[in-house]
Amino acid sequence: MALFINYYPIWKEALILAWPVMFNHIFTTAMRTTDMILMGFFGPAAVTAVGLGDVWESIILRIGLGLGTGSISLISQESGTGTKKAKRNSDEIISQVIFASIIISIPFMIIGWVIPDKLIALLGAAPEVIKLGGQYLMIIFSAAPFRIISIISARALQGTGDTKTPMIIEIIGNILNIIISVVLALGLGPFLNYGVLGVGIGTFIAKLISASIYFGLFMSSKSQFDLMMPSKDWDLTIIRQLFKVSMPKILQGIYQSIITFPFNALVLMFGTEAAAAYHIARRILQQLIAPLHRSYYTVTTILIGQKLGAGKVKESKEITKAMLWLTLFTIGSFSVILFFSTPFLVRIFTDDLKTISYGIRFLRAFSIGITMLTVYAVFAGMLNGAGNTKTSLYGNLFSQTIFKLGLSYLLSIIFNIGILGIQIALVVDFTIRAIWVGRKYLKGDWVEEAGKMIEERRI
């Protein structure tokens, strides 16, 4: 009871910010879940094609999230400061990051037009999967600039404490995505049956619309930001800090995507059904628990950044403790429910018995590890709010190399315990990551790091 009384005000503030973020992620994952369900009508090859296409697309996602982390970290600190100088700094931050995203997107578009099938083939997929995955990836890579702009625009608004506007825009985009994907994939009404290609087209159109809405919002007189054209007068301190915060997050994300390739190849060694099961289990986790997991990460970043920007160090530490307790109460309870619901949930996506068997085992492994992964997310969100993204980068480099990939191979192949070895390694990876960033919280030097960055921008 004392714990509830002490942390209730923080939990209330956090949940007010979190529910729009959560709904945003619910609809985003619902769109991807719909894609998986649709591909289930076309068999394991189609499911695997979309799953492997998303592996490559995750590089774009990681870049967007990295730039978005820079935006939300610096803008939340400026929001906590609340001066005229802070307003100009925020305008410059969002303008710089949008300009960078457009430049970064161009190579992905070219690659998507030229060699999409070769990228799918690199993962060791079967010929049918390569063909379908290449079609899907061509469309997804073409949407790269709209995808990244939508992510960083949402993060910028969230950094000011506005989590509702991104929710509304993303819900609109994702509902359109679901409708278009269903119609084009299944050939409803007057439209032809495009299958996997239809799902890709739905994503492209939705991301184009979302990015257009954000641009329209920022150009309006009611916008919290005033977009600025690229200029030699931009504050070099802001540019340096933006990339100081963003680059480790981008590198972390790219590395996570890169290591996913050999990891998926490892899973594929146990057959297409095993690969389809892994992607189905991952999709269920992302639909049911990841929205809350990600909202805790985002809200922790916002609150910590604002408190540090306002010079309220003690409050920032209390927020971290409160979010950790909230994680244990909520995510811990949901993970137990998920563990015992796995047979029913997996059967929604497929009726292939072998895929179902593998899927149940993967999903149970995820349910065991998700609480520790969310503890990691809270600590990482705290560090992001302070402008520290290097600690999370190093933790991911170490844990995912040694445990997600190395331990998976050791247990499943060398020790010959199969899929179970991969599932054990996933849980260990989640736990090690949480311990790694938790060490930085206990050390406490992240407060001084944030203070130096904030002071530099006030000069």
Angstrom distance (rounded) from CA 147 to CA 82: 30
Tokens encoding 79: 């929001």
Contact assessment for residue 308 and residue 447, using Cβ atoms and an 8 Å cutoff:
yes
Ramachandran class of 223: left when φ > 0, alpha when ψ lies in -120 to 50, beta otherwise: beta
Q: What value, to the nearest 5°, has the Cα angle with vertex 134 and ends 129 and 140? A: 125
Global confidence as pTM: 0.82
DSSP for residue 406: I
What are the C-alpha distances in Å from 249 to residues 31, 182, 212, 391? 25, 34, 26, 10
Domain of 41 in residue numbering reads as 2-458
Question: Looking at the 3D structure of the chain, how many domains does it have?
Answer: 1
In tens, the pLDDT along 74-122 reads: 888 887 776 677 777 777 888 888 888 888 888 999 988 888 888 888 8
Contact assessment for residue 206 and residue 31, using Cβ atoms and an 8 Å cutoff:
yes
List of residues 6+ apart from 325 with CB closer than 8 A: 3, 7
| Averaged pLDDT, groups of 10, the chain, 459 residues long | 75 86 78 74 78 81 85 82 72 82 88 86 79 86 91 87 88 88 84 80 90 88 76 72 86 84 88 87 85 88 87 86 91 92 89 90 94 94 90 93 95 93 95 94 84 76
Closest by CA position to 292, among listed 329, 235, 330, 246:
330
Specify the pLDDT at position 459.
64
Closest by CA position to 392, among listed 373, 365, 419, 405:
373
The single-letter code of the amino acid at 314 is K
